[in-house]
Amino acid sequence: MEENYRLPLLGEKIPSFEAQTTHGVMKFPEQFRGKWLVLFSHPADFTPVCTTEFVAFQKRFDEFRKLNAELVGLSIDQVFSHIKWVEWIKDNLETEIKFPVIADDTGRIAKMLGMLHPSKGTNTVRAVFIIDPKGVLRAMLYYPQELGRNMDEILRMVKGFQVSDANGVAIPANWPENELVGDRVIVPPASDEKTAKARLKDKSIECYDWWLCHRKVKV
């Protein structure tokens, strides 16, 4: 009997599962408790765009680690294919892939997380799941097979979530290079008149108006 899966929603805990990876059997998300997790799928091993993505992720591996974030890849290829592919990348592109890659050859995990789209056949789409230290899904990104991802944006998202969580603020567009407030962050709008008036007198906060205020935070 086929299992029924529902696409996880933002704010929910990611489903628990065990998987074979290039680093051995791993338990998700339990094994990453206390860390941020960037779980991403790619259509297939030994494909051009996916290869450029793996190199790009690895080039930023240390930056993710500095943010207490781990990278984990996934596709429906077998673990033997993953091992050979990462060996090829090391030998031919001089880049050692240090993060694990899940071998989801049955497609069970891909179905569970909505990584298989009917119009794309049996290959996983380019999905990205950003999961916080409590195992809660904070963001989902989906890219078509023909478009490679921007890893700097994924790195920016992890940084943004951490700044938001630590300071109770919102992150503006293109942060930390926003067109209106630069590297400052958005203060949530006041919910009553007293707070709105007090905010206009707060020297640590700058406002265009009472509902559009921003301030500096330590990153």
Q: Which of 50, 115, 130, 131 is catalytic?
A: 50
Phi, psi (degrees; rounded to nearest 5) at 130: -100, 120
Active-site residue flag, 50: yes
| Whole-angstrom distance, CA of residue 138 vs CA of residue 12 | 8
Phi, psi (degrees; rounded to nearest 5) at 178: -70, 145
| Whole-angstrom distance, CA of residue 70 vs CA of residue 135 | 13
Tokens at 93, concatenated: 């592109």
Helix (H, G, I), strand (E, B) or coil at 152: helix
Q: Positive or negative, the Cα torsion across 36, 33, 108, 71?
A: positive
Residue 176: cis peptide before it, omega within 30 degrees of 0: yes
Could you list the active site residues? Answer: 50
